[in-house]
Structure 1
Amino acid sequence: MGAKDLSVNSDPAVSQPPARRRSPFHAVKFFVFCHSLLQLAQLLVSGYMKSSISTIERRYGFSSQKSGLLAAFNEVGNTVLIVFVSFFGSRVHRPRFIGGGALLACVASLLMALPHFVGEAYDYTGRVSSESTHTQTHIHGPHKAPLSPVTASSNQSCSRREGPAQLGAYPLLLLGQLLLGIAAVPIQPFGISFIDDYASRKNSPLYLGILLAVTSIGPAVGFITGSLMLRFYVDFDKLSGDQIRLDHKDLRWVGAWWLGFLMASGLLFLTALPYLFFPSSMPKELDTSKVLRGTFEVNEQSEEMSLLQFLKSFPRIALRTLRSPVYLLVVLAQVNLAALLSGLATFMAKFLEWQFSQTVSNSTMMIGGVCIPLAVLGTVLGGVVMRRMNLSVRGASKLCTVAILLCLFSSTPLLFMGCPTQKIAGVFPHSDASSCSSGCRCPQEAFNPVCGSDGVEFRSPCHAGCTATETDLSNNATNFSGCRCVAGVGMAASGTCGGRCSGLLVPFVALLGVTSFIASFSQTPSFMMILRTVPSEDKSFAVGVQYMLFRVLAFMPGPVLYGSVIDTTCILWGKKCGQKTSCQYYDLDRFRQRFLGLQVVFVCGGLLCFLLTVVFFRRRAGSREPQPEGKG
C-alpha cells in the first residue's frame, strides 16, 4: 500500500493531481476554513455556558459551589481521554474523528437545553402558584383573607417542583458537560496535526495563527451571545407576553439560558458535516520533494509503538520532563494563571451583577466585549514583542516576570472598588425579624424585594408590613403603601435599594480589562520557554503534560474553589419547599474581598514561579541559554 502510494506521488503525469484538486475537500485551505468554523462553534458553547452559569444557578436553586462543579465538569472527560490523542495521531481517519466529536458536541448541547423542556415553568417566589393572587400571597393586613389557600397551592407547587424532571436537571447538565469535554478531545489536536501534515512549511504558521485567533475569539462570541439570549424571559415559549411580569432588573429574573445551547447545537451540526467528506490524507501544498515524503512515511512507520508500549512509556517521559526546573516552574506559573482565569471566567459576570446592581445580560456583555478581546490582544502582542526583540529564554522569563508584576499592581486596586451592602431589614445588619410585620405571617420563602422610602430594603412587601399596592397598566405592582415597617410616609417601591455606587462600574471594568491585557502578555513567552527547554523528541509529550496539569490543577478545581468562596459570603439563602436554594443576598464587601483576594493570591503564585526562573538562569553557570536535557 505504501509503495503504491509512493509510486503515484512520484508520477510526473499532471493529469491526476488537477482532477483531485477540483474538489475542495482535497485542499488544506478549505480544511482550515471548516476547522475555524468548527472551533468557533465549539468554543461558543464553552463561553456561553460560563455566561449563563449564574442564570442556571438561580433557575434551579444551585449553590455557587455546585455551579462551579458544573462549569468544570467538561474537563473530566477531556482529561481522561486527552492522553490517547498523542498515541492515535495519524493512525486514524482524523477528519472523521473530528466530525464525530462535533456531532457528539451537538448532542451534548441539546442535552444541556433538555431540562427546560422536560421541567415545569419557572415558578419564582412572589407568585406561589397561578391560582393564588399576588395580593393574597404577599400583602396581608388584619382584614385580609387567611393564608390557608396559599398554603394549599404552595404544597401543590412543591409537589410539582420535586418531580423527577426538576430533580434530574443537575444530573442532565453534568452529563451534557461531560459529553462536551469528551467531544472536544479529537477536535483541536487532530485538526492542528492534520493541517501541519499537509500545509506547506511557509503557510503552516499562518493557518495555525488563524486557528489560534478563532480559539481566542470563540469564548467572547459565547459571552456576547449569552448577553443577547438572556434578555428573553426563560419561559417565553410557554407563557404569553401579558403573563410575564418580571423585568431585567428584578433579582428574580431568569433569562432564556437554554436558547443559546439550541443555537450552538445547530451550528455544531452544520460545521460537522464537511468532515464526513474529507479524505484521510490529501496532497501536500507545494510538495517539492516526493522522495523526502516517502522517507518520512517510512520513518513514521518505524517509530510506531503499540498502545501498551505507549502507556508504559508515558509516565517515564512525563517524570523526565517534570525534572526540568524551568519547565516545572513555568508550568506551575501557568497553572496559577489558569486557575485565576477559570474562576473569573465563570463568576466575574455574577460579581458585576451583584456588586454594581447590573443585569445579567449587561454583565456578560462587559466580559465578552471588553475583557476577553483585550486578553486576546495581549496574547498577540506578547508574541510580537518576543519576535521583534528576538528574546532568549532568559529574556522571556524576565518579560513574564515584569508582566505579572504589573498585573499585581493593576489588580490590587480592584479590591477597594465596589458597593457596600445596602441595609436589609432583618438580614443586614443582622437582627431579629421586625415585630411590625409579625402579624402578617409572611411565608418563609417570600422573596420579592422592595425598597422603602427610608432607604431600607425588605425581602418582600409582606416583610415591610404593606397593606396596599399600586399597579401599572399591565397589572404589575410598582409601589406599595401603608407599610408599617417603613419610617416616614410608609411607602415602598418594587426592586432593590442597591446600585448607589454604579459610577464605579466603568473604572472597574476598564481596570479589569487592563489587568486581563497585562496578564495575557505572558502567555506566548511562557509557552516558548516550555518548547525551548525540553528535548525535541519530548516536545509533544511536554505540551500534553502541560495541558493535563492545567486541567487537573486549574480548570477542574478552579471554578469549584471560587464557587465555594462565594458561598461563604452569603447572608441569606433562599428556601423553597423547606429546602435551601440559591443565595438571595450577599455581604458585598466580603464578596469583593474574598473573590478578588483569591485572584491576587493566584497572581502572586505565578509571580513567585516566574521570579524563581529568573533566579535559576542567573545562577546557572557556563551558558546564557538552557540546553535541552537528554534522556536520562
Structure 2
Amino acid sequence: MVANDPDRKSDLAGSRPSSRSRSPFNNIKFFVLCHGLLQLAQLLVSGYLKSSISTIERRYGLSSQKSGLLAAFNEVGNTVLIVFVSFLGSRVHRPRFIGGGALLACLATLMMALPHFLSGEYKYTDHISSASDNSSGLCQSESVFTMPASNQSCSQKESPSQQGIYPMLLLGQLLLGIGTVPIQPFGISYIDDYASKRNSPLYLGILLAVTSIGPAFGFMMGSFMLRFYVDIDKFSADEILLDPQDLRWVGAWWLGFLVASCLLFLTSLPYLYFPRNMSKEDAAGDEESRPEKTDPLQELSLLQFLKSFPRIALRTLRSPVFLLVVLAQVFLAALVAGLATFTAKFIERQFTQTASFSTMMIGESADWSPVNQTVWAELGSPVDAV
C-alpha cells in the first residue's frame, strides 16, 4: 500500500524539518535573548551590592576598607578560574556550564542575604560608650540625630554575634565570582560560533545594550528596597519608630538579594535545554548545518595548555591594538568601580541624604551614553570582559 511505502515515508521525513530544528532552543536568536536576560540579572546583583554597601556598613559596623574589599572580592574567584575557561571552552557543553554557573551565582546571592536571618533584630540606641555593648556595631553620638554622620565623634565596638557575618559575606562574593566565570566568555563564544558573520556583530551589540542597564537597575532597585526598614519581616509598620531621615535608619538591604536570586534562577533554566552544538546561521539568518571547525586547543591536555599559555598570552599582547584596548578597558573599569562603590556613600554622608536618595542619584546618573554603557556592562565583571 502507498501508506506503507518506506520510500514515501523517507521523502515526507526529508521534506519536514525535524523537531529539534523547529525547537526554539536550536535558534541562536533565542539564545541571545536568554543570555541578555541572564547577564542583566548577573550585573543587577553587582549594582545592587554597591548600592547597599553603606547600609551594610551601618548595620554591621564595617569600615570602608572592609566594604571595599567586599565589593571587589568576587573578582578573586573570577581571576583565578578565568584562565581555565580558555581550555574548557571547546571541550564542554557550554550552555549547561553557563546554566550551572548561574545556579551557583543564585546560591551565592542567597548567601549574601543570609546574615540578616542569622544576626537577629537590629537594635539601636541614642548613644554608646566604650563600655557598652553596641549590638548593632554602629557609631552613634549623644546628640540629636540631625548632625551629619561625618561630624560625629564617638567610639565603636563590634558585637561578638557579628564576627562571623563579614566572612560569610566574603564567601558569598567569592562564590558569586566563581559562578559568573563561564557566563560571559562561553556565551559570547557560543554566539560567535553559531551566528552568521553578518549577524554576529548585531547580536553582540544587542547583548551589550541589554546588559549595560543591569547595574543601573541594581542601583534603582537598591533605592527602592532601602526605603523599607531592615526588620520589616519581624515588625509591623506600627512598631517601626524610625523614619528614613533618621541617621539610625537601616534599610532592607537583604531584600534585593532575594529578588536577584530569583531572577538568576529563572534565567538559568533555559540553558539546561540548549544543545551543545547548534545549527549555524546562514547569511539570511536561517539555520543550516555546517561541519564543525577543529580547534587546535582541543588536542592539548591541561598540562600542555598551562605550559603553552604564557607563550600564547605573550604573543597576543604583542598586538599593539589589542594591548591598548585592554589597558583602556582595565583603567576605565577600575576608575568607575571605585566611583560606583563609594559615591553614594559620599553623597549620603557629605550632604546628609538618605541611602535611598543617594543610590537613586547614582542609578539615574548611570545614563545611557555609549561610554557609560560599556563601562556599566563591565562593572560587574571586568575580567570576563577583557
**Aligned counterparts of 1:49 and 1:227: Cα–Cα separation in 2:** 11
C-alpha distance after superposition, 1:320-371 (max 9, x if no partner)? 344455654554444332221110011111111122222111111111112x
Partner residue in 2 for 1:362: 357
CA displacement at 1:292 relative to structure 2: 9.5
CA displacement at 1:68 relative to structure 2: 0.1
Partner residue in 2 for 1:304: 299
Q: Which runs of 4+ in 1 moved over 4 A?
A: 287-292, 323-330
1:278 aligns with 2:270: no
More strand by share: 1
**Aligned counterparts of 1:332 and 1:302: Cα–Cα separation in 2:** 26
Contact kept, 8 Å, 1:335 with 1:549, in 2: the verdict is no
Corresponding letter in the other structure for 2:244 = H
**Aligned counterparts of 1:326 and 1:21: Cα–Cα separation in 2:** 40
CA displacement at 1:191 relative to structure 2: 1.0
CA displacement at 1:201 relative to structure 2: 2.2
Change (3 A) 1:548 1:106: closer
Partner residue in 2 for 1:541: none
Partner residue in 2 for 1:204: 200
Partner residue in 2 for 1:345: 340
C-alpha distance after superposition, 1:351-397 (max 9, x if no partner)? 11122222111111111112x224xx233xxxxxxxxxxxxxxxxxx
Contact kept, 8 Å, 2:279 with 2:287, in 1: the verdict is no
CA displacement at 1:219 relative to structure 2: 0.5
**Aligned counterparts of 2:63 and 2:75: Cα–Cα separation in 1:** 20
C-alpha distance after superposition, 1:301-338 (max 9, x if no partner)? 68632211211111122233444556545544443322
The alignment's TM-score, normalised by the length of structure 2, stands at 0.81
C-alpha distance after superposition, 1:273-316 (max 9, x if no partner)? 1111111122222389999932x53x336863221121111112
- Output aligned runs, 1:53-68, within 5 Å: 53-68=53-68
**Aligned counterparts of 1:323 and 1:194: Cα–Cα separation in 2:** 26
Contact kept, 8 Å, 1:34 with 1:271, in 2: the verdict is yes
Change (3 A) 1:225 1:21: same
Partner residue in 2 for 1:236: 232
- Output aligned runs, 1:147-186, within 5 Å: 161-163=159-161, 166-186=162-182
Contact kept, 8 Å, 2:87 with 2:297, in 1: the verdict is no
Change (3 A) 1:28 1:290: closer
- Output aligned runs, 1:536-547, within 5 Å: 547=383
Contact kept, 8 Å, 2:279 with 2:288, in 1: the verdict is no
Contact kept, 8 Å, 2:40 with 2:211, in 1: the verdict is yes
Partner residue in 1 for 2:311: 316
**Aligned counterparts of 2:326 and 2:101: Cα–Cα separation in 1:** 28
Partner residue in 2 for 1:22: 22
Higher relative contact order (CA 8 A, sep 6+): 2
CA displacement at 1:102 relative to structure 2: 0.8
CA displacement at 1:187 relative to structure 2: 0.7
Corresponding letter in the other structure for 1:51 = S
CA displacement at 1:71 relative to structure 2: 0.2
1:40 aligns with 2:40: yes
Corresponding letter in the other structure for 1:257 = W
Partner residue in 2 for 1:214: 210
Change (3 A) 1:293 1:138: closer
Contact kept, 8 Å, 2:245 with 2:354, in 1: the verdict is yes
Q: 1:255 aligns with which of 243, 251, 255?
A: 251
Corresponding letter in the other structure for 1:293 = R
Helix, strand or coil: the match of 1:232?
Answer: coil
Change (3 A) 1:253 1:44: same
Task: Note the residue ranges of structure 1 that are not aligned, 5 or more in a row.
Answer: 1-10, 130-136, 140-157, 380-515, 525-545, 551-632
Contact kept, 8 Å, 2:194 with 2:279, in 1: the verdict is yes
Partner residue in 1 for 2:370: 378
C-alpha distance after superposition, 1:236-294 (max 9, x if no partner)? 11122233222112222110000000001111111111111111122222389999932
**Aligned counterparts of 1:302 and 1:85: Cα–Cα separation in 2:** 12
Partner residue in 1 for 2:31: 31
**Aligned counterparts of 2:26 and 2:67: Cα–Cα separation in 1:** 44
Q: How many residues align?
A: 349
Helix, strand or coil: the match of 2:232?
Answer: coil
1:73 aligns with 2:73: yes
The alignment's TM-score, normalised by the length of structure 1, stands at 0.51
Contact kept, 8 Å, 1:95 with 1:275, in 2: the verdict is yes
**Aligned counterparts of 2:283 and 2:19: Cα–Cα separation in 1:** 17
Structure number, greater radius of gyration: 1
Corresponding letter in the other structure for 1:88 = L
Corresponding letter in the other structure for 2:180 = A
Corresponding letter in the other structure for 1:167 = Q
RMSD of aligned residue pairs (Cα, Å): 3.3
Change (3 A) 1:272 1:116: same
**Aligned counterparts of 2:256 and 2:12: Cα–Cα separation in 1:** 52
Fraction of identical pairs, as percent: 70
**Aligned counterparts of 1:321 and 1:366: Cα–Cα separation in 2:** 40
Partner residue in 2 for 1:537: none
**Aligned counterparts of 2:385 and 2:212: Cα–Cα separation in 1:** 20
**Aligned counterparts of 1:188 and 1:215: Cα–Cα separation in 2:** 11
**Aligned counterparts of 1:12 and 1:206: Cα–Cα separation in 2:** 36
C-alpha distance after superposition, 1:193-212 (max 9, x if no partner)? 11122222222222111111
**Aligned counterparts of 1:82 and 1:233: Cα–Cα separation in 2:** 39
CA displacement at 1:77 relative to structure 2: 0.3
Corresponding letter in the other structure for 1:305 = L
Partner residue in 1 for 2:262: 266
CA displacement at 1:13 relative to structure 2: 6.9
Change (3 A) 1:12 1:93: farther
**Aligned counterparts of 2:370 and 2:287: Cα–Cα separation in 1:** 41
Task: Note the residue ranges of structure 2 that are not aligned, 5 or more in a row.
Answer: 1-10, 134-140, 144-156
**Aligned counterparts of 1:33 and 1:328: Cα–Cα separation in 2:** 31
Contact kept, 8 Å, 1:112 with 1:176, in 2: the verdict is yes
Corresponding letter in the other structure for 2:104 = L
Partner residue in 1 for 2:109: 109
